[in-house]
Structures are given as structure tokens and as C-alpha cells.
Structure 1
């Protein structure tokens, strides 16, 4: 086919440009169809751009860090004759929309941006099959023609569940994404371990298993986590751009690094994996090599510090957020960070905020959680404080439904929602995201614990879908993980209320007529004063604290 120019495809509805974060290939390198060639960050997500052809990269047309408009040529390929001779052979070159995004925009109307040299026209087959690279590989291995598989994802994209349903003859579960968990049944969850003294931590509130809160993968993924592990020798590796940069700095092949995690059934390498591999090669203790670029798996995890964005509040990020930042630096204000800032400003300057603070004795809750944790099986999700808080918030919303509402200014109506969809603020290396626990009133404590942990993990590694980041009716955020008691959180607009959790502290308190040490939790909430009166906010908080003070009531919910 000769030389063919490949333009930056439309990676999602409303996206006009993207920042080229990193090249995953070099000039002169041979690539295969669907092989990721670049990582691009938009205001919604970091996505991998796969090649549309088999061939050789002859020219890279942009530098890392450059803003590239959709439709601009980014790569020239010397395409194999058998690589793409018909429209049906030229499959989607768009990024995997199922890898996540922000702001609730669903990816759609994707176009293949391959531009044939000499014509300057965009190849847009009408019978194109949309599927991420991992699904295409699985289909080839299972000898399944993707053209015969109905897609349930955005833009009729074929998900892993769609493919599995086609293979087994079952219908895919509604709303289930192929990136929900690792093969072991639980997604690796960074951060969020419980601090001493019963401090509630970050959104997921605790690692599911393994040191530093990571779920260890099957040994077949690529070896153990130990120092001096043997080479993994993979053909493909999932990793964040910062991790790839670390591997390049250490002059090692990231495909040779044993992976400690799995994402979408594939090996996922973290910065710690790279450092452990380097330590094994050099004989240096990996723990002494410094924290480097944090992937969000620090012991206590990030937590909200009050203030909001993206309908959320500003949150203390992971070490990766600030490490390397120097006095006098000029940091580009764009992508996800700009979107967060714009939505923060919209929320703050549209809804007149009023805050309410209270303190609740959660000594019985601490004991109840410890008792229930001791009685759960080893394979059960780790029960943290957050599921209890979610149940208490739902009880409060039932008692004060005006808090489960939004103001439709155009229609001049206050819409009281008939479902309880709770947003959970999660710190990521790109800023705050708010995944949504839908129908929280219909779920038990362990089910909530598992779902929150999974959502938080996928929000951090940017594989969460846009649909999972929209539609919340009330938001909970947590500042207690890093200390602090009171906050004035910014509402997750267009919601009318947000609840912030402080740190559980052991303090003197009057209990049954005596001053004794008790576990006390501060709660702070902000409401939209156009919709919610101060008395309503106080009644809501009273109901929430009543349930947290009497956890047996929560067990009846």
C-alpha cells in the first residue's frame, strides 16, 4: 500500500484536540494493527491511540507535550501490502473509550483518521467494527468474527462482555464494562489503608489485599514482585506514561519488567515494579531508591482537603501530583486539570453555598466495624467505614428528600430524584474524579465496599467509563485520611448538597454522665441555599449522625 499518513482520530464526543503525552513507538519500528503508538490526554481522559495498519513507522509528526488538533497527521506508516487494502480491513483507529474519561461525556461518533498520502481524504468505512485492542486480540484467539458481535458500548463499541457473550451464547450483563476487575475478581485498589486510631481514609478506604493496597496478579502475568525477578518477556505491557518514562530513564525494556497487577486481563506495570526490577539488576535495595513517581498506592492514600471541582472538591493528591514541581515552574493549565477548574468555578459561583458542621460519637461504629470485619471470610471485600457512611447518607436523604435534588433553572423547577446515586470523590494523579455508586439504597455493606473499591481503582488508573462519572444525586468526600476535621466543600453541581468526612479522633467526651475517651467524627456539609434551607441541612445531618451513632440501625437498612 506504500506510505500512509495517520491523523489523530476523534477520541470522543466534543474533543477537538489532545496533548501528546508520550510516543510508544519510534521511527523505524515495525508495528501491528491495534498496537498502541501514542498516549494522548484530552480534557476527558488519557487514551492510547492504536495503529490502523501493519507496517513500519517512517515519521513521527509531533513531539511529546505538543497539543495536536483532531485530524492533524501524527504518524506516517509504510504499510504492508496485506496490511490494509480494503475498507473492511481498516478497523477503528480510535482510542479505547472504555478506558475512561471525565465529565460524563460518552465517547461516540468515532472516525478512523487514516489519511492516504496523495489524496488527503479521510477513510471512513460505514461497516467498521469498534472494539478496543484487547477485545480484538481475544476475538482472534477465539476465532470469532467481530463483525458478527453486537456491541453494547458507546457508539456500538464491542466490549469484553459482548465478546464473551458471543462465545458462550449468553447475553452480556446490562451496563457491565469489560474493565471492571482483574481475573481474580477484584480490581487493584491504590491507597486508602486505614490509619491508626480508626481514621477513615480515601474514597476506597483501604486496599483489598496485598502490601501497599495492591492486588497481586497471577504468577503467569509476569513473575513475582520480588527483587531480582526473572524477565517477563511480554509482547505488550500496560503502564502509565510516567512509568514508561521511568523505564526509559533506567534504560530497561518495560516488557521485561515483571508486573504486579493485571488490568483488563493484561500485565500492568507500576513504578514500584520498575524500581524493583532495577534493584534486582543492580543489587540495590528497591526500598531505598525513593518514592519516585507515585501511582497512587501509598500507604494512607490521598484524601480530600475541602473545596471542589468537576462537581467535586479539591483534594490532596498523591505524591505524583507534586513531586518534581519546583519553585518558579510554569505548569500548563489544560486537559483534565482545566476541566476540573472550570467546573469548580461554575459550582462555586452558580450555587450560593452555606455550610453546616457537626460532630458524632462513632465509638459503637468503630466496634461494629471491627466485629463485622472479624466475622467476614478471607475472600470478602474489606469492610471500611465508607459503606456505613453511604448507608447513613441514604437514610438522611430519605428523611430529607430536598437534599436529593437539583435545580433546573431553565424549566424553573426543583427536580427531586427518585433514586439514590451517591458520588464518591476520588483523588487521581490528574485531579479529582467522582465515580457514582448507583442505587446505593439497594446494596448491602459488603456490596458497597466492593463497588467503591473497584470504582476508585478504575478512576485512578483512568479506565473508568464516562457513564460511571455522571448522574450522581449527592456526593461524599473525605478529608480525614491526611488529617483535619472541618471543611467547606464545594457542591458537585448541579447537586444541592455534599458531605465531607473529617478524621476520627479519640477525644474526651461526656458519655452516660461521665467524661471518657470516645471516638469522634466531624462531618461538614455544604448546600445550595437556593434550594436547601439551613434547617433542612441541620435535619439531614442529624439523621446521618443518628445512624452513625447507632450502627445497628444501619444493619436494618
Structure 2
């Protein structure tokens, strides 16, 4: 028994000595043995040395762990699940490049789904070895975005795919992104415009906030470069031709006409992705729902006067008609909750929404987006105006979040801001109603008092008094499976009363 324990401890000591020697050997031999991990538990055994004096010695064996991923490893940083059932995104901008060092929570790239823009941040400290996509490419959820060579001391998740790299092997670096500089402040649209104009963003001085480069900066730089090139070009002296002879003047001049060019213009194919792809899905689904449209004209004269008075009292107040309309819709929805509801895909259940999250259709550089203002029933008109300004500013730069774009219960399309008086809006499922606001026009309308006081007799002296009024046309579309025309007409009449009597709107807010 005692001899067996002695032999066991000698074997443990030999293994530990072998492990220490392997650490001191050259890297070529280390790379062969590195995949194997030797781990020994610390043991302390009592072995008698002499049976005469029964003296004892203690032998300990420490734990050793050899792993190539600990010393030099490359992690494939994959695109995580963004949520909302999103399976693929479009890479809009890279914030890093091959060869740069990143730390945890540093920005790596910005991607755009069919609903919002999302900034991807790093989970590791290390060096970027490879970018898998160019700007504009489509990346799928679960696929790698970049390869990161980890620094020593990083903890690697169990499910992370690791590839071992020996110190002697040269790392093949592939550069996919050819952006001028990641430190420049410019939107993807500006970078795309600079690429089309063949302008380096490093040569352009930005005039926006924090030195951000705007489209106007690119146009100014292009015009200045063209004018400087024209000035630097020497003027060619044109020889003075002698006066024509009488014989030459009498000859009939021949006009040389060039035949029109018959070279065909090449077509351009572009894949449908991002916001446009989401529009295809949403509009196709909406077209399967039977809906109707109801239109009416609202007299906005009193609201126009009220807005002018507010602007005169304080020049700092910048408010449009839309916040008044949004607040009026919220007050009218209190009596017609069926219009502030959702219907499931099979139209078997109606969910009456407690919050009035009113969406506003916006024309952005990425396409049609419908962010919504949350809890309008609890906001004042000025608070609605501030929230609307915030959403518009985010929409211009493509920074609307998923929270801003989801959860809507009722929608409006202010098509009159661009032009047009009549429109047929398309439902934004699972919502059941949407309105299209036409532009406010000045129109001559007869006085209603003349119609009530007019007699049955008529003569040539009879006339009709008229007034110039500000008229806005509103068109409503509703899901005819759960809403009838009478309900939509009554809701429109209540909204019309509130807008034509804005003081009532202010009292009830």
C-alpha cells in the first residue's frame, strides 16, 4: 500500500516536470502539444521514508493548464439577434478598420434593419483583423461581422468560435472597407455623395455641428475646385482670321449636322432592401384588408389666426398646425376607442389600446418611416410639438430607434406639407385607421347665414355674400371588417368641431 502511494506521487512529479519543460521549449514544438491540456488536482500525500524513524515528507502537485487560445486567439464577432424578428440588416457605416485596436463597448459599425438603425459595439478588447462586409452589404443575424485578435486576460465565452494563431504565422489581413477615415463626422448619405463626386472627405472642411460634413460642404468644395481649375488653365490665343473675300461671302454656307447618338443607355438594377423591403411586406399585407375611404373639408381659419397670435406673442415659439391636429385626434379618440385598436392577423380579436400612440408618416432619406408619439392623451400641445421636432430631426439623420418606430395605435400622413389636397392613405397594420391631411388652401366660400335667411323668391337684386376661408381636406381610411362608415363620419365630425373651435381644444387639454 505505501509503495503504491509512493509510485503515484513520483508519477505526478514527473508529469509536472514534463509540463514545465514543454513551456520552455521552442514554439514549433509548443504548437504541436498546445491543443492538449494537462490538468492535475493538487494532492498532498504522506509517504514514510524510513521504517526506523517514521519520518515523513509532503509532496504537492500544482495545477497547470496549457491552451493556445489563452495566449493568442482570434474571435469571430457575430451579429447578435436585434429583436422584432429581424433576420438581416444593411451595413451603413464602419467605425473601425483593419489593424485598429478596440476596447469593450467601443463602436464597431452601424447597421440598418427594416425598422431602425442600430449601433453595434464590441464585447472584447483586441485588434481588428478582418471586416466581413462592405458598406451597403447585407449582413445576416448569427453570421460573423469582424475577426478580433484578443488581448491577454480576455475571458472568452464558451460558444464563441476561436481559431488558434501561432506567433510565427503571419496574419493575413483583408481590407474590405475603403472609407476615407472613420474619425470624420458624416452621414452615410454624405459619404455616398462624396464617393459619387470623387471627393475625399479628408479634403473637405465640415461646417456642421462638431465639424460634421454636410452635403452643402461637398457642393461648395466641388464648385471651388472647378473654379480654381478654370483659373489655372491658360487661355489659348485664337488666331485672327482675315476678312472674307467677296467671292467667299457670296457662297452659300454648308451646315454640317451630326446624326443623333443611337447608343442605348444602360439599365441599372438595384436590390430592394432595408426600409423599402419592409414597405413591400407592409403594403402587400395592407392590400389584403378590405378598407374604405371617407373625406371631408375642415375650416382651419380660426386655428390659423390662433397660431399667428402665438407667434406674435413669443418669437421663440415655433409650432406648426400638426401638434394641434394630433392633440385634437387624441381627444376625439376618447369617444371612439374602436379607432385606437389593433386587430390580430386572423381578425378574431380586437385589442383596445389604452395609450394614444399617434404615428406620423415621414419622408426620410431611407424611405417612408412612421415614428409615433407615445401617450398623446397625457401631453400638452407644446410637449407634442417638442416630441415631433425630436422625431423629425432623428428621421433626417436616420437615427430613429426601434422604440420610436413601434407600438403605434393610430396614424396620420401629412401629405399636405409636400403638396396635394386629396389622398387615399393605406392602412398600417395591425392598426385599423389612418388619416391623410391635405394642404391648407385659401378659398372663397358663401356665408352660411345667407342660406338660412334666404327667401323662396329670387330676383336679379339678390346676391350672396362670401368670405375667404382657410380650408383643409382630410381623407380617412379604415378597416371595413371592424369599422363602418358611420363611425368614421362621426369621428371626423368631432375632430372637425375641435379644429374649427381651437379654444375648446385648449380648454380640454
1:461 equivalent in alignment to 2:397: yes
Q: Are 2:334 and 1:334 equivalent residues in the alignment?
A: no
Structure 2: any 5+ residue segments left out of the alignment? 1-70, 166-180, 229-264, 451-464
**Structure 1 contact 437–452 (Cα < 8 Å) conserved:** yes
Change in Cα spacing, 1:460 to 1:113, as seen in structure 2 (3 Å) is farther
Distance 1:535 1:499 in 2: 16
Map 1:174-253; keep pairs closer than 5 Å.
236-247=183-194, 249-253=198-202
Residue by residue over 1:36-56, the C-alpha shift from the partner in whole angstroms, topping out at 9 and shown as x without a partner, is 444433333333434455554
**Is this contact kept in 1: 2:92–2:188, CA < 8 A?**
yes
- 2:297 aligns with 359
Cα pair distance change 1:404/1:52, threshold 3 Å: closer
Aligned-partner Cα distance in 2 for 1:462–1:22: 12
Tell me, yes or no, if structure 1 residue 371 matches structure 2 residue 320: no
Q: Deviations over 1:494-537 (max 9, x none)?
A: 22111110011111212354223221100000011111111111
More helix as a share of residues: 2
User: Structure 1, residues 355-400: CA drift from partner, whole Å, max 9, x if none?
Assistant: 001111111111111111222352x4x1110011112212322233
Q: Corresponding residue for 1:86?
A: 154
Q: Aligned in 2, Cα 1:401/1:369: closer, same or farther, shift over 3 Å?
A: same
Larger mean CA deviation between 546-555 and 243-252 belongs to 243-252
Q: 1:439/1:19 Cα in 2 relative to 1: closer, same or farther (>3 Å)?
A: closer
Secondary structure of 1:357's partner?
A: strand
1:519 match: 470
Q: Within 1, Cα distance between the matches of 2:158 and 2:274?
A: 23
Which residue is equivalent to 1:116? 162
Distance 1:250 1:461, change over 3 A: same
Could you tell me how far apart the structure 2 residues matched to 1:404 and 1:72 are?
40
The unaligned stretches of length 5 or more in structure 1 are 91-110, 120-233, 285-325
Corresponding residue for residue 21 of structure 2: none
| Distance in structure 2 (CA, Å) of the matches to 1:462 and 1:252 | 20
What is the SS of the residue equivalent to 2:79? coil
In structure 2, what is the equivalent of residue 260 of structure 1? 208
Larger radius of gyration: 2
Provide closer, same or farther for how the CA distance between residues 472 and 68 of structure 1 changes in structure 2, counting only shifts above 3 A: closer
1:347 corresponds to which residue?
Answer: 286
Deviation at 1:340, TM superposition (A): 2.0
CA distance in 2, matches of 1:69, 1:84: 30
Alignment TM-score, normalising by the size of structure 2 = 0.64
Match of 1:30 among 85, 100, 103: 100
Q: How many residues were matched structurally?
A: 368
Pick aligned residue for 2:387 from 451, 459, 480? 451
Aligned residue number for residue 545 of structure 1 = 496
Using the TM superposition, give the Cα deviation of residue 542 of structure 1 relative to its aligned residue in structure 2, in angstroms.
Answer: 1.0
Other structure's SS at 1:525 match: strand
Residue equivalent to 1:405: 341
1:241-287 deviations in whole A, cap 9, x for unaligned?
A: 22233445311328x7435237xxxx654323444566678878xxx
Question: Match of 1:135?
Answer: none
Give the secondary-structure state (helix, strand or coil) at the position aligned to 2:216. Answer: helix
Cα separation, 2, equivalents of 1:274 and 1:6: 37
Aligned counterparts of 2:269 and 2:158: Cα–Cα separation in 1 = 35
SS at match of 1:253: helix
- Give CA deviations for 1:67-120 in whole Å, capped at 9, x if unaligned: 3333433433455xxx45222xx8xxxxxxxxxxxxxxxxxxxx999643239x
> Aligned-pair distance for 1:240?
2.2
Match of residue 330, structure 2, among 394, 412, 435: 394
Tell me if the contact between 2:116 and 2:400 (Cα under 8 Å) persists in the aligned partners.
no
Q: Give the TM-score taking structure 1 as reference length.
A: 0.59
2:87 paired with 1:16:
yes
Alpha-carbon shift at residue 425 of structure 1 (Å): 1.3
CA shift in 2, pair 1:40/1:115, >3 Å: farther
Alpha-carbon separation, structure 1, partners of 2:500 and 2:416 = 18
Return the alpha-carbon distance in structure 2 between the equivalents of residues 408 and 530 of structure 1. 12
Which of residues 469, 473, 477 in structure 1 aligns to 2:413? 477
Q: 98, 123, 146: which one pairs with 1:75?
A: 146
Deviates more, 1:493-502 or 1:37-46: 37-46
Match of 1:439 among 355, 375, 399: 375
Show CA shifts across 1:420-456 (max 9, x none): 2211112222222222212212222111111111122
